[in-house]
Structure 1
């Protein structure tokens, strides 16, 4: 393949632009905000799970408290009715009076036990409420950090994407000035060679593989026509001659 020396040198400009595009892609992918957001999101998920557990416990204890208070109320009402019967004198049988009095005593003890249950449930409910309130605050704080990191990442994306668009446009202009067959070869080699399809020959050294040409290779380069598209014998990339090639 042949191509004007100027076209080959412009290929180096395309390569430089492609390297810059690769650097920008790496920069976009490696922003510190990615890891920050990932870590914060994990923390947020854990906190939300804990919050769900706390609110569920608060709801469960609320129902438990209502049930316990209803039990206390039922015992209290029965004790009140029994006391009223006792006070009214409606029960005259000594045995019935004795049984009624025993039941009143038993109900009083039962009421005391149930009231202790109510207090215990209320304490657990209060603890769950405090825990839920604390977790709600923590969720809000971490969510704020996530939002801040996301905003910073989006701002970085905007800046990087703007530069990518600028470099891509410049690349498009340069590529349009180079013969299509040379560009096609370059693109093929760039795909095969880790993103570098053309390299400068500088002081008898290929800047693609960083290996110096041996004497035979130097003689071949010297003998080649100026418009000949040369390939590095080691890395097979397009080898572009410049005034600094040392040939």
Structure 2
């Protein structure tokens, strides 16, 4: 399936996410409920385990989550020993940013940076600890847990293209050479993700995958989501 095959949905609108995170913020302030874990806690654990193996805390990596929502994945990294000053989450919904900051305070993780940013059009704020003059390709690891899916459900332009077509090149723009991009999706298979991201325009190459529980239906096996890691080519590759 290509992004153009998906029909626009409310899940692809900023209005939906603004309303959803405003409600979750109110629930957190009233009840201490941190909100929904997109794809479930197991997907978070598996992405954290992948990071621990391939981009361990000892390397002090700079990590950016695209569409960080309530910050669950970054808090998982924090709990696993990553330096909070090198963890950064961006979201285009101001309610999500406020919610994640409030949760961070309650968890003693206020050093994690959460900021408002439209990934498709704006470069994220670069933490002082990794800032390099004039450079945006400073991130060792980019993470996505459902954001690519949501963008793919946005309104198509006049030529029928989904807004998600510009996403892969934005990833390449921000990753340092040799850096990694790890994505979990429920709308795209592993093969589709590889086809969408491993192109001449991106300089990304397939690195590895995360195994998720499988099911069999109608004689075919599959899983509810796919997780694929890519690495940006270095200048010597």
Q: Which has the higher strand share?
A: 2
TM-score tier by shorter-chain length is: under 0.3
**Structure number with bigger Rg:** 1
Structure with more helix by fraction: 1
Structure with the larger RCO, 1 or 2 (CA within 8 Å, 6+ apart)? 1
- TM superposition score normalised by structure 2: 0.17
